Amino acid sequence: MGKRDVREDNAEEIEHIDRGIISINDISFNFQNYNLTRLTLSHNKLSSIPQNISELVNLEVLTLWNNLIEELPTSISSLPRLRCLNVGMNRLTILPRGFGSCPSLEVLDLTYNNLTTTTSSTSLQTLSTLKTSRSSP
């Protein structure tokens, strides 16, 4: 699959939903997009998120619902403005080391994963909503 030609260098919001994306490298994506506040890559086939996600310093909402992600990069905890992280319906078994230090995280959706513990999320001081249910709503 070739790179998708999308003009998103300065976009504030990017959505790639249900496109069969296997890797972020499958899309033309600029990690130096300092305007990006919302990134949605739901209903794809992503198995990993690159460490350089931390370069998206103004990212506030990251939605990775319904992919094949087994592990989040440790760098995700250094996103200074990330308020909402939706990684529900993936294959996560553990949260990355240092995850509890996310400075602005308010909403965390971990539903439908294989997490054995969420203890590292308990130190999130700004967290107002934590979703971990494995049952249907």
CATH number at residue 6: 3.80.10.10
Q: How many domains does the chain fold into?
A: 1
Helix (H, G, I), strand (E, B) or coil at 39: strand
Three-class SS state of 40: strand
Q: Largest Cα–Cα distance of the chain, in whole Å?
A: 42
Per-residue pLDDT of the chain (137 residues; tens, 9 = 90+): 344 434 456 778 888 888 888 988 777 667 778 789 999 999 999 999 999 999 999 999 999 999 999 999 999 999 999 999 999 999 999 998 888 888 899 999 999 999 876 545 456 788 999 898 764 33
Give the domain extent around 119: 1-137
Is 53 in contact with 73 (CB distance < 8 Å)?
Answer: yes
